[in-house]
């Protein structure tokens, strides 16, 4: 059973607009979350993280929001650029474990 879900397999956004990628999780023990970006034929690369003590973390154009009560996190990209076109994975872990659980990914296309 998928503990981390990304219900949108794909998303298209115009260049300059905001991209919002969503992720839901079921395990209330999860308290550390990551977003990874993956280009074709490459491995995923770390993008941004957030721990459960925060509800927001920003890094340049990327902001991750965490809503613990809803077990939901989102990644906002503002403004979106064509180079952001990739597959985005969210991942979650509990501090007590060594394992990250990944979502199925959302393929983002930024249209010039």
Please report, as ranges, the residues that interact with another protein according to CB under 8 A: 2, 4, 6, 32, 34, 36, 41-46, 49, 89, 91, 93, 98-105
Listed residue (70, 28, 23) closest to 49, CA to CA: 23
CB of 93 to another protein, least distance (A): 7
3-state secondary structure of 83: helix
Query: Which C-beta is closer to another protein: that of 43 or that of 112?
Result: 43
Burial (CB count <10 Å: 0-12, 13-18, 19+), residue 95: exposed
Query: Which C-beta is closer to another protein: that of 39 or that of 111?
Result: 39
CB of 14 to another protein, least distance (A): 27
Query: Which C-beta is closer to another protein: that of 80 or that of 89?
Result: 89
Contacts of 109 (CB under 8 A, 6+ apart): 10, 11, 12, 13, 85
């Amino acid at each position: 059973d998928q503990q981390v879900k990304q219900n949108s397999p794909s998303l298209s956004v115009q260049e300059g607009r905001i991209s919002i990628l969503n992720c839901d999780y079921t395990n209330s023990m999860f308290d550390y979350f990551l977003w990874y970006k993956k280009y074709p034929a490459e491995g995923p690369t770390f993008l941004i993280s957030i721990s459960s003590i925060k509800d927001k973390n920003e890094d340049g154009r990327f902001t991750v929001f965490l809503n613990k009560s809803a077990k939901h996190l989102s990644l906002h990209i503002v403004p979106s650029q064509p180079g952001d076109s990739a597959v985005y994975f969210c991942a979650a872990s509990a501090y007590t474990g060594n394992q990250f659980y990944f979502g199925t990914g959302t393929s983002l296309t930024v249209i010039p």
